[in-house]
Amino acid sequence: MEQLALLRAIADSGGGWVIWLLVVSSFLSVGVIVERLLVLKRQARYQASVLPAIEDQLGRREPDEVLRRLKAGSVLSEVGRDLEARAPNGREAMLESLESQLALQRRRLEKRLLILGTLGNNAPFIGLLGTVLGVIHAFQDLSVSGGHGSAAVMAGLAEALVATAVGILVALPCVAAYNYVEKGIDDVIEDARRFGKRLAWALGEEH
């Protein structure tokens, strides 16, 4: 009975609160999108600027110089330091560790992307919930008016459909940004993998 009363109270409230929830979610998603894009852009720009020179140094078998020039905190730096620590164990150990380190760096770059994925998948359903609640509320008003308030009911139905539209509008940029960032992360990790393999080869020749 208590659950039924709760459901009835939610239905009586209409779907207005759902729209506010979606609006708050949209601001949250914008914050995550901007923050992740900035992080990804910094990593991609750094790698694009430093990899040509690094490739040249690795070609001259100068892994120590490469490690010294890597920017602390970058994906390349984390990969390089890990390989340097594993170098005494041989090239195979370095290559095995490389994949583990790349997986760790991917998780670091994907931080907070779960928020975008969740909103992208669920915002339309949240909007649909608002629409359903609005429709229920509109028909309740119709029953109270004895069928004479059809114009007001139609206005209520139109307002209820707004929740679905808002849900879709929140979801679209989340999905687009999620896919864009994931593609950028794939590129960063793949560049780091190529770098790591060449560095492992160079370090292996020193040990």
Over residues 72-101, the pLDDT tens digits come to: 889 999 999 999 999 888 888 999 999 999
Task: Give the mean pLDDT of 144-150.
Answer: 61
The mean pLDDT of the chain is 86
User: What is the 3-state secondary structure of the chain?
Assistant: CHHHHHHHHHHHHCCHHHHHHHHHHHHHHHHHHHHHHHHHHHHHHHHHHHHHHHHHHHHCCCHHHHHHHCCCCCHHHHHHHHHHHHHHHCHHHHHHHHHHHHHHHHHHHCCCHHHHHHHHHHHHHHHHHHHHHHHHHHHHHHHHHCCCCHHHHHHHHHHHHHHHHHHHHHHHHHHHHHHHHHHHHHHHHHHHHHHHHHHHHHHHHHC
Percent of the chain residues past pLDDT 90, beyond the cut: 53
What would the mean pLDDT of 140-149 be, rounded to a whole number? 64
- Name which residue leads in pLDDT, 19 or 124: 124
Q: How confident is the model at residue 155 (pLDDT cuts 50, 70, 90)?
A: low
Residue type, 186: D
**pLDDT at residue 206 in the model:** 64
Kindly state the average pLDDT of the residues 134-161: 70
Q: What is the pLDDT of residues 39-71, one digit of tens each?
A: 999 999 999 999 998 888 887 877 888 888 888
Task: Report which of residues 12 and 39 the model is more confident about.
Answer: 39
**pTM reported for the whole predicted model:** 0.82
Q: Give 96 or 160, the one with higher predicted confidence.
A: 96
What pLDDT, in 10s, does the model give residues 186-195?
A: 999 999 999 9
Decide if 83 contacts 199 (C-beta within 8 A).
yes
pLDDT at 139 (0 to 100): 74
